[in-house]
A and B are shown apart, each in its own frame.
Chain A
Amino acid sequence: MSKKPSTGPISLHKVIMVGSGGVGKSALTLQFMYDEFVEDYEPTKADSYRKKVVLDGEEVQIDILDTAGQEDYAAIRDNYFRSGEGFLCVFSITDDESFQATQEFREQILRVKNDENIPFLLVGNKCDLNDKRKVPLSECQARAQQWGGVPYVETSAKTRENVDKVFFDLMREIRSRKTEDSTKASGRAKDKSKRRKLKCTLL
C-alpha cells in the first residue's frame, strides 16, 4: 500500500468497549493502554482513554470509551454508541450469560449505527481460565459466523494474550472502512488513478 504521508491532523479512531458487567472490558482497556492488570473489580460508569499508537507504520490516535456493563446504565448506552466507529463486544468465556448478552449488544449497536458492516469484533475474554470455560469455542465461532463473519478472538487481559491484536485489528477495520467511505464519495477520481496505474504496468 503506497500511502501518502499524512500532512493533516493524525486520524482518530473511536473504539467502544461493550459487554456485560465484569467480563473484563476495563481490564482489557487498561492492559492495552498502560500494560497494567487490575485485580480489584470496580464497576465502570464510563471511562475515556486516548493515546497515540503506530498502526502499520502510521501514527494514529485511538480513543477508547469504556462503557458500563451493568443494566442500570442501559438507557444511556445509545448516546455513547452513536459516537463509536468500531466496537469490541466482550464476554467472559467463563460466563455463559455474558455470552448470551452479546446478542443484545450487537442488536443495539446495529440499531443505533444503522449499519450491518460496522467494524466489530467479538472478544472472548479470560482465556487464561480455560479450565473454567463455560462457553465452547465452537459456539463462539458459530455466533461470529452468524453475524456476517465478524472476527472472533479470545483474549486474556491478565496474560495480555491477543490484547493488542484485538485493538489493532479493530483499528484496521475502522481505517479500511473509512477509506472505503471516501472512495465511495469520490469514486471517479479513484477509477482514473486505477486506470493510469494499469497503463503504467502495460508500458
Chain B
Amino acid sequence: MIPPLVTGISPKEGPAGTKITIRGENLGLRANDLISVQICGGECSFEWQSKNKIIARTGINGVKGKGDVIVTTSSGGVGNCTVQFRTYVESIGPLKESAVWVEETPIQSLTWGQRRMVTSSYHSQEDPLSLSIEGNDKKFTEDLREIFPENSGDLSRENFSPYWFLLENHHATSFDDLKAGYSYLKRKVEGQKEGQLSFLKTHVGAVIDQLDTMMKLKDKIDNNGEVEIAERIHNLQGTISQSIDSSHALFDDVLMRREKADKSRAALSVLNRYKFLFCLPMSIQKNADNNEFDIIVNDYARVKNLYSGKVDIPLIKRVLSEIDEIILEVRKNLHNKLKEMPQAVEQQKKFVKCLINLEIQQFGTKQYERLKINDPAWDSLFCRARYIEETFKRTYEEFQEREVQAKENNSVKRDQNSLPIRVLFCEEINEIAAGQFPDLWRLGQSYFTGELRGINEPKPGNFKQIILNVIEKFCCYIRSSILPNYYQKFSSVPPWTSNSSQQALISTWLPTCLRYLRITYSSLIRLDLPNEVLDVVLKLIDELRLFCLLTILKKSIDKVKRLDEKEGWDMKVEEFPGATALPEKFEEILAESLDEGQQMCLQLEVRENPLFDGIHNLEGYHEVSKIIETALGCFSTVIEELATQRSDDEIHPLPRHNITGFPVNTSLNDSKSTAISTITITWEHRLLYCLANAAYCNKMFINNLGNLFTKYGYPIPKLALENGRSNMNMVFANLLEIYVELKNDTIVSHIEPSMFSSDNFSWNTIEKCDKLSFWANQCLDNIVGVYLEIFAVSPFLLRPILEQIIQTIAEELSRLMNSVEQFNNCGRVQAILDIKMIRDSLKLYNNERAKLSFNEAMDAIPKLSNDENRYVDELLKSIKIQRRIQLMCLNVVNPS
C-alpha cells in the first residue's frame, strides 16, 4: 500500500499533447493496476511500462503552467510527485506542424493579423532582464511621468528611459538580481553579436565556397571580357527572378493549403447545416415525443434564421414546408397539451411559451394561417379554471355517492368517531381549492405580467370573472354540503341529496369545517386576490360562523331541557333565599356555549369582520336572539315542570289531620338545613323552591345574564332577555296560583267546617264570648303554619303568597258572614272579635281587596254598641298579648 511517487519526467515541459515518460516508484503492479495519470489537473492517456515507468500523453484539459504529476493505482491509491510538469500554449502558425487538432472557431476569426498581434503582445510582456517581475506592481506610473516628462518606459519607444523602466518594473528587485539581470542582458547582446560570428563559423565552408566561386567568377569575367558580362548578368537576373518565382510558388503552396483548409471547413459547415435541415423533421418528431419542446423552438428558430431569405432551391423549399407542417402539428399538439389537466403550472407555462414562440416564428407562413390560436395562454387559464370547477363537481358527486353507499351498507355499525362524509367532503374540497386555486391565480398573474403574452392583448375583465366563478362554485358546494337549510338562495349547484339524520351528525363537526375553510381562506389571502373574490369566501365564512354559533347555542337548549335531572334542591343563592343552584347551572350551560361560540366563531382571524357588527348581520343576530329566547323559555318550562311534577307516592296526598287539614309529618318547624338534607322533599316544598327560582330569575338572574354576554363579547340580547323574563313571570304567576290554591284548600276551605264543627252551632245561640272562637284560632294557626313553611324556603315569597291567601280568607269570611241569618248579642260580639283578630293579625298582608272584604264581612254583622265595642277592643288586646309570641312573626315588616 505504498502510494505511487513520481520522481522523473521527460520532458519536463511542453504543450498539450506532449508525450511524457514518467518514472518513479510503485507506478502500478500491472497494466490494469494503473487507474489514472493526471498532469496539471488534466487526465492523460497513458501506457504502463513497468512499475517504474509510464508513457503518457498530456490531455488538453490540463491547467496551463506548472502542475503536479499524479499517478493513481488501485494498489497504492493516489500518489505524489517530486517533480512538476509545465504546460504551455504553443501558437500554431500555418507552417508549423501540429500533432493535435488546433481549435479554430468555425467563423474564421483567427486571421493572420490578429495572430501576429497576439504574439507581439506576448513578447512585450517578457522582461528584457529575464527577471521575475512578481511583487513589482506598477504603481509609480504617474510619478514617473512627472520625473521623466520627456521619456517613456516602453522598450519599443525612441524616448525609452532605462531609469523609468527599472523604477517601474523592478523597484522591488534586489540588487543582486539586478546585477544578474544586467549580466544576462549583456550576454544576450553579446550572444546576438556572437550569433553572427558563430553563423559564419559554422558555415565557414560554404562561405569559402562562395568566396571561391566569386573568385572564379571574377577570373571568368576577366578572361571572357566585357561582352559576356551583359549576357551573364542577364542570366543572373533570370536566375534571380526564377528563384523569386519559386519562392513565391513555395508560399503560394502554403496559401493554397490554407485555402483548401478553409474550403473544407466551409464545406463541413455547409454539410452540417444541411444535415441539420434534413434531419430536423425527424428530430422535431422525436423531441415532440419526448416533450422537449424547448429544443424544437430553438431548432425551428435556427432554421428560420438560416433560411430566412428567399430560398430558391426546390428541395430546400420542400423540406422547409415539411418542417412548417410538422411545426403546425406540434402547435396543435402543444395546444392540446396546454389544455390537458391536471398538470403543474410551470409545465403549462412552458407549453404556452413554446407555443407562443412557435407561433411568432411561424407567423406569415401559410401553415400559420391554417391554425390560428388566438390566445393560448388564455386557453390554458380557461382550461385550468374549468378543471378546478370540474374537480369540485366530481368530488361533490363522488362524496354524495359515498354517503348514500355508507348509509346503505353501514347504517347499523356506524362509527360515531369517524368523520361524517360531508365533513370529509368539506376537507377534500378545501384541500382542492387551497392546492389548485393558487396555481390558477399564478398562471393568471404570469398571463397579465406579460410573461405569456401572445400576439393578442390579454382580457382582464374575463379573468376576474373566471376567478369569481371558481370561488363562488367552491362556496356553493360547501354551502350545499354543510349548510343545506341555510341560504339555499345561492344554489347554482344541485343540492346535496338531503338527509336530515346526516345533517344532525354534521353539526358537531361544523367547527372542523370552519377550520378547513379558514385555512383555505388564509392561503387565498396570501395570493393577493382582489377583494371582490376574497369577500365571496368571507361571506361563506361569516355564514358558517353564524351557523356554527347557532348550532352551538342550540346544543345548549338540549342541555337546558335536561336540566331538571340536575336539580338537587340545593339552596345556594345568597342574595335570594329559596332559589336553588338551578339558575346557576343554567348560567353555566349558557356560559359554556357562549365561550365555545366565542372561541369558534366570534374570535376574528385574518381579514374577518366581527360577526355582530352593528347592522352588518342583523338577521344573524336575530337568530341568536331567538335561540337565547328559546333557551330561556325552556328554562322556564323546566322550572314549571319541576314544580308541577309529582311522583307517584305523592299523588295520594299525605294523611292530614282531619281538622287542621295540615300534613302531619311536614317539617314545618325544621331549620333550613334539615329541609335540605331530607331526601324526599315534599311537593309543596319543591313548589316553593321553584317559585323562589322563578322569582329570582325574574327579578335578578335574567338581568345578570346580560353581563355574561358582555363578558364573552356578544351584544346583549335585550329583547330575548325581556321575553324570557316575562315568560318567567308567567311561570311564577302560574306556580303561585297553584300554591295558593293548595293552601286555600287547607286553610280557607276549613274555616266553614271548623266554624260549624259543633253540631248545633249558630251565631244566634252563642252564650258567652270571652275568647277567640275555635275556627279563628284554627285559621290563625294555619296561617302561621303556612308562614313558617314559606319562610323556611324564602321570605321573599311571603308577601305574594300570603296576600293571596288572606284575600281569599277575607272573601270567605265576607261570604260566611253575609250568609248568617241572625246574630244574637254574644254572637255579634264574637264575630266582630274573630274577624278583627284575624284582620289585625294579618294587617301587614292585607291588600285593598282583602280590606274591602273584611269590611264587607263586618258590615254584614249588626252594629255593636259602644260598650260592646269597648269590650271587644279590650278583649282583643288581651288576646293579642296572650298570643303575641305566636303572632309575632306576622308582624315582622321585612322578614328576610
Contact = CB atoms under 8 A, between A and B. Distances in A.
Interface of A: 26, 30, 33-34, 36, 44-51, 61, 65-66, 78-79, 82, 111-112, 114
A111 B187 contact: yes
Main secondary structure of the interface of A (DSSP, over half): mixed
B183 interface: yes
B272 interface: no
A34 B10 contact: no
A78 B185 CA distance: 11
B187 A48 contact: no
A50 B23 contact: no
A184 to B, nearest CB: 14
Interface in B639-663: none
A82 B188 CA distance: 14
Nearest to B130: A79
Contacts of B183: 111, 114
A18 B599 CA distance: 98
A33 B130 contact: no
Interface in B62-91: 82-84
Nearest to B186: A111
A44 B9 CA distance: 11
A46 B12 contact: yes
A33 B23 contact: yes
B13 interface: yes
Given A46-B12, A82-B180, A51 B187 contact: no
Contacts of B11: 44-47
- Please provide the 7 A-B residue pairs with the shortest distance between their CB atoms, ordered closest to farther: A48-B12, A47-B10, A49-B8, A50-B82, A45-B11, A48-B83, A51-B7
A34 B12 contact: no
Which residue, B8, B9, B12, B180, has most C-beta atoms of chain A within 10 A? B8
15 contacts: A33-B7, A34-B53, A36-B52, A44-B10, A45-B10, A45-B13, A46-B11, A46-B13, A48-B84, A49-B7, A49-B23, A50-B82, A61-B82, A112-B184, A114-B183
A48 B9 contact: yes
Interface in B1-19: 7-14
A67 B704 CA distance: 114
Given A33-B23, A50-B83, A114-B180, A45 B14 contact: yes
A45 B10 CA distance: 8
Contact of B23 (A34, A45, A114): A34
B25 to A, nearest CB: 9
Interface string B179-203: 0100110010000000000000000
Contacts of B84: 48
A26 B8 CA distance: 11
B492 to A, nearest CB: 88
Interface in B655-677: none
A49 B14 contact: no
Contacts of B9: 47-49
A2 B433 CA distance: 91
Given A33-B7, A112-B187, A114-B180, A51 B82 contact: yes
Contacts of B130: 78-79
Contacts of A44: 10-11
Given A34-B8, A45-B13, 15 more contacts: A30-B8, A33-B7, A34-B53, A36-B52, A44-B10, A44-B11, A45-B14, A46-B12, A49-B8, A49-B9, A49-B23, A61-B82, A78-B130, A78-B184, A112-B187
A33 B9 CA distance: 12
A45 B84 CA distance: 15
B386 to A, nearest CB: 76
B201 to A, nearest CB: 11
A56 B82 CA distance: 22
A82 B179 CA distance: 13
B153 to A, nearest CB: 24
Nearest to B52: A34
Contacts of B8: 30, 33-34, 47-50
A170 to B, nearest CB: 18
A47 B12 CA distance: 5
B10 A50 contact: no
Interface string B226-253: 0000000000000000000000000000
B184 A66 contact: no
A111 B188 CA distance: 11
B187 A78 contact: yes
Which residue, A47, A66, A82, has most C-beta atoms of chain B within 10 A? A47
Contacts of A30: 8, 23
A49 B52 contact: no
Contacts of A65: 12
Nearest to A44: B10
A61 B81 CA distance: 13
Interface in B24-60: 52-53
Interface in B123-175: 130
B82 A66 contact: no
A49 B7 CA distance: 5
A49 B83 contact: yes
Contacts of A82: 180, 184
Contacts of A46: 11-13
B200 to A, nearest CB: 15
Nearest to A108: B187
Contacts of B83: 48-50
Contacts of A78: 130, 184, 187
A65 B83 CA distance: 10
Contacts of A33: 7-8, 23
B166 to A, nearest CB: 20
B376 to A, nearest CB: 66
Contacts of B53: 34
A104 B327 CA distance: 77
Nearest to A45: B11
Contacts of B10: 26, 44-45, 47-48, 66
Contacts of B187: 78, 111-112
